[in-house]
A and B are shown apart, each in its own frame.
Chain A
Amino acid sequence: MTEKELKKIANIIREDIIEMLVEAGSGHSAGPLGMADVFTALFFGDVLNYNSKNPEWPERDRVVLSNGHICPVFYATLALAGYFPKEELKTLRKIGTRLQGHPHRGSLPGIENASGPLGQGLSQAIGMALAAKMDKKKSQIYCLTSDGEHDEGQTWEAIMFAGKNKLDNLTEIMDRNNIQIDGFTEDVMPLEPLREKYEAFNWHVLEIDGNNIEAVIAGVNEAKAIFEKPVLIIAHTIPGKGVDFMEFDPAWHGVPPNKEQAKEALHQLRTLGGKITGEHE
């Protein structure tokens, strides 16, 4: 897929996120928009081994979402990748839905783990990486984490364990968007220096622009080439990316747009911030 095509996919995912959130009336806006490029790279950039028609394929790579609250971007991506019908996106957070407010394993194809309570995904990804090593399977395990959830002690238990056990089939992609519910991460509970902390725990660390799809693809491919160490990719992203009034604003961490705001957001996305005339308008 060309860079242009990938950007188009990321934009469709962002539009889907806005439409899902306004329909649901609750949910998180900033994180999902910021991570649309990473998800596009993983699922459409020829990075992941997956089969959306056979989601339980044993040889598949695993995508473990640790910060479950950004699931709208995961759901929109899975629908676009053919795991389930796109119409189902509108059922997000509604009674009887497979698209739970935070992901539930077993409900929706493509979801590998329940998540929501923060700091728990990396441990589960480690379990999957250990099992793949025991069974000599080539599956690569990708764990998507947030920066904020590094406040949780369990995250560091997991980081220590993965370093000790040289889990080179494990790649963590951290959404470094600098915000959490109560404000900026460095005000709430400073995390820096993140690179040095992970390196001290015997991880290999890469830093990329998480809103540059080509950079994400290159970073993940580089991670595949690292042996004897787990890899952390610090993906610097802009929270709320693509909607100017949401970008960089912690206030948009945990709330959805209202109808007027959604209209403006969709306008911006469909016109690429006013650069083109929207096709759907």
Chain B
Amino acid sequence: MEKIIKNMLNHKIKLAENLFEKPEMKATRDGYGEGLVLAGKENKDVVVLCADLTDSTRSIVFQKEFPERFIEIGIAEQNMAGIAAGLAVSGKIPFISTYAVFCPGRNWDQIRVNVCYNNANVKLTGAHSGVSVGPDGATHQALEDIAITRCLPNVVVLAPCDAIETRKATLAASKIQGPVYLRFAREKTAVITTDRTPFEIGKAEIFYEPENPQALIIACGPLVYKSLIAAKELEKDGIKVMVVNSHTIKPIDEKTIIEAAKICGVVVSVEDHQIMGGMGSAVAEVLAKNYPVPQEFIGMRNSFGESGQPEELLEKYGMGVKDIKEAVKKALKRKK
């Protein structure tokens, strides 16, 4: 039985073989640190700025390797975004590092005017996103960052699903011209992809692909893993679900989403973010215009988080495996 279920994974994209048994656990922010060093080795113009969170954002890894290209800003995220814009228009490729509640939260106006309106080649990063930050509580759980970045012109928005994909996304961001926002999580989460899994900005990948799927889950960030578990468990209930990893929220992969919606007929979007304005909203915008199908939204429902363990919080606020499964069933009931 296990073997058959494993075959539902899209083997073309070389996902981790031990995914459902004993996945490697690693925080996406660790992938950021590794990606920064790779980017720094490939391009001497890559510089990293940090606002007094060098260790926990993992920019410390770059600092150790390239101290002359690391700039400590202090607790001043607005200044950090402005300085980065000045560096970028002078030919540098600055990555700015802090928590997502501070960037793009605290410094949104500077991102809007200095980075996006200037079309400056700044890479914005937000660590510790989502309610799954855990015990730090609501002030530190960024649940709005996707909404407030994807509405800005010129910026690319990325929410990688695991540490390996984050490493690739960081390197890829350094190679494209223009503003990029990258979203990371605090906790160790399952490593889903491998070095051989393709990653291309703007290209969503089908991770779970049963024959004749009845429903589609589109997820981003570490909740892609929860979505895969939900899909696998739903298989036991006789419900076949396709799972797509939409790491690029802007520009969203319209082609893959529309094609998958045509095959599946109903959609559930899954993200550790406010439902309003998030990745699910981006999906709904695409489908409403091109191929309307019933959609259910997994995400934060117009409330703040609180302190707690990440898993407890995901369950309390309706973003656990059980909630994803229920949403799929609810969506299926709406199928015409």
Contacts and interface: CB of A to CB of B under 8 A. Distances in A.
Interface string B65-94: 000110101101011011111111111101
Given A104-B117, A106-B118, A123-B110, A161 B89 contact: no
Contacts of A124: 82-83, 85-86, 89, 114
Interface stretch (A152-160, A205-213, A235-243, A261-269): A152-160
A134 interface: yes
A131 interface: yes
A123 B87 contact: no
B117 A157 contact: no
A130 B87 contact: yes
Contact of A127 (B76, B78, B82, B109): B82
Given A104-B117, A112-B89, A161-B83, A154 B71 contact: no
Interface stretch (A37-45, A113-121, A248-256): A113-121
Interface string B29-73: 000000000000000000100000000000000000000110101
A115 B94 CA distance: 20
Interface residues of B, number: 29
Given A113-B118, A154-B79, A161-B74, A127 B86 contact: yes
B80 to A, nearest CB: 8
B94 to A, nearest CB: 8
A114 B90 contact: no
A154 B78 contact: yes
B285 to A, nearest CB: 27
Given A114-B114, A114-B118, A127-B82, A161 B73 contact: yes
Nearest to A153: B78
A80 interface: no
A121 to B, nearest CB: 8
A259 interface: no
A135 B69 CA distance: 11
B119 interface: yes
A132 B79 contact: no
Nearest to B75: A157
Contacts of A58: 91
Nearest to B71: A130
Contacts of B117: 104-105, 114
Given A116-B113, A117-B113, A123 B82 contact: yes
B113 A127 contact: no
Contact of B119 (A106, A122, A123): A106
Interface residues of A, number: 32
A220 B174 CA distance: 38
A158 B82 contact: yes
A126 interface: yes
A113 B89 contact: yes
A125 interface: yes
A154 B84 contact: no
B90 A127 contact: yes
A128 B113 contact: no
B90 A128 contact: yes
A160 B78 CA distance: 13
A123 B88 CA distance: 12
Contact of B84 (A64, A114, A127): A127
Nearest to A115: B113
Interface string B85-114: 111111110100000000000000110011
A121 B78 CA distance: 11
A138 to B, nearest CB: 13
Given A124-B83, A161-B79, A131 B110 contact: no
A127 B110 contact: no
Interface in A140-195: 153-154, 157-158, 160-161
Contact of A105 (B79, B81, B84, B89): B89
B82 A154 contact: yes
Contact of B74 (A115, A153, A160): A160
A252 to B, nearest CB: 26
Q: Find the residue from A122, A124, A132, A154 having the highest chain B CB count within 10 A.
A: A124
A126 B86 contact: yes
Contacts of B92: 127, 131, 134
Nearest to B116: A114
Contacts of A116: 113
A158 B78 CA distance: 9
Interface in A94-120: 104-106, 112-117, 120
A117 B113 CA distance: 8
Contact of A131 (B73, B91, B109, B119): B91
A129 to B, nearest CB: 8
Interface of B: 47, 68-69, 71, 73-74, 76, 78-79, 81-92, 94, 109-110, 113-114, 117-119
Given A116-B113, A127-B94, 7 more contacts: A105-B117, A121-B82, A124-B89, A126-B86, A127-B86, A130-B71, A154-B79
Interface of A: 58, 64, 104-106, 112-117, 120-132, 134-135, 153-154, 157-158, 160-161
| Smallest CB-CB A-B distances: 10 pairs | A127-B86, A123-B82, A131-B90, A157-B79, A157-B76, A124-B86, A127-B87, A127-B83, A128-B86, A154-B78
